[in-house]
Amino acid sequence: MRSPAPLQAALVAVLSFWLYRSALPLAYFNDDPTGHFAWMEGRSVADFFSGSAAYGYYRPVVFTALRLFETLFGGGAWPHNPVADHTLLVLLHAANTALVWALAWRLAGRRPGRDAFAWVAALVFAALPFSYEAVAYVASLTHPLVTFFVLAALLLYQRGARGQVPGAREERSSWNLAPGPWPLSSSPC
C-alpha cells in the first residue's frame, strides 16, 4: 500500500492556500511600485545580476521572477499584475507549508503520532509566517523564496544522510560543493 504522505502534504498546502486566499485581490503596498518596480524599469535581466548599487537591494532572482510575471501576466499601460504577483506569494507559502509538513514527517521517524506532529508543525507554519509581510507583500518575495530553497535543501540533505540517495552514504564524508581544494568535511586534506 502506498504511503498517504504525498496526499497529506498536498492537503496541508491546499489548506495554507485557503488561509491566505484573501491576499489574492490586494493592491500593491508601500514600496512595491515605487521601489522594486521603479528600479526594474528599463533594466534587463542581465542588469539584475550585474549589480544594484543605485537601488541598494541586490535580489536578482526576485527581480527576475517579477520580470517573468510582468511578461506573462502584465498589461500594456501598467505591466504589473497584483493578482498574479500575490498568487505567486500564496503558492510559494503553500509549497513551503507542504515542505514543512514533509520535513517534520521525516524527522519524526517511525514514532507514534508522526502524522499529527507533521500536521501541527505545518499548520503552525501556515498560520504564523515569520513575518506578516511574507505572504501578502510583493516586495517580500525574497522571504518565501529563500524559505523554499532552505526547506528543499534540508529535505534533500536528510534523504542523503539516511542513505535514500544512491551513493550518498559513501560520499557523505567528502562532499565538496565548491570547486577547488577546499574540502567541506572534518577529515584532514
pLDDT, residue 71, reads: 86
Instruction: Decide if 24 is inside a domain.
Output: yes
Regarding pTM above 0.85, the answer is no
Cell triple for 184 = 567541506
Q: What is the pLDDT of residues 126-167, one digit of tens each?
A: 998 666 678 888 888 889 999 999 999 999 998 877 776 565
d(CA 129, CA 93): 9
Instruction: Decide if 127 is inside a domain.
Output: yes
d(CA 83, CA 62): 17
Q: What is the pLDDT of residues 38-56, one digit of tens each?
A: 888 888 899 889 987 778 7
Instruction: Decide if 172 is inside a domain.
Output: no
Average pLDDT over residues 172-183: 44
pLDDT, residue 94, reads: 95
Residue 77 has pLDDT above 80, yes or no: no
pLDDT, residue 49, reads: 92
Instruction: Decide if 78 is inside a domain.
Output: yes
* Domain membership of residue 67 as a residue range: 5-167
Instruction: Decide if 131 is inside a domain.
Output: yes
Average pLDDT over residues 23-48: 82
C-alpha atoms less than 13 angstroms from C-alpha of 99 in its C-beta half-sphere: 20
Q: How many domains does the chain have?
A: 1
Predicted confidence band at 175 (pLDDT cuts at 50, 70, 90)?
Answer: very low
Instruction: Decide if 178 is inside a domain.
Output: no
Q: Decide: 118 and 52 in contact? Cβ < 8 Å.
A: no
Tell me the C-alpha to C-alpha distance, in Å, between residue 85 and each of 33, 38, 88, 150, 157: 12, 16, 5, 22, 30
Q: Decide: 159 and 165 in contact? Cβ < 8 Å.
A: yes
pLDDT, residue 32, reads: 64
User: For residue 131, which phi and psi values (nearest 5 degrees)?
Assistant: -150, 135
Instruction: Decide if 189 is inside a domain.
Output: no
Instruction: Decide if 82 is inside a domain.
Output: yes
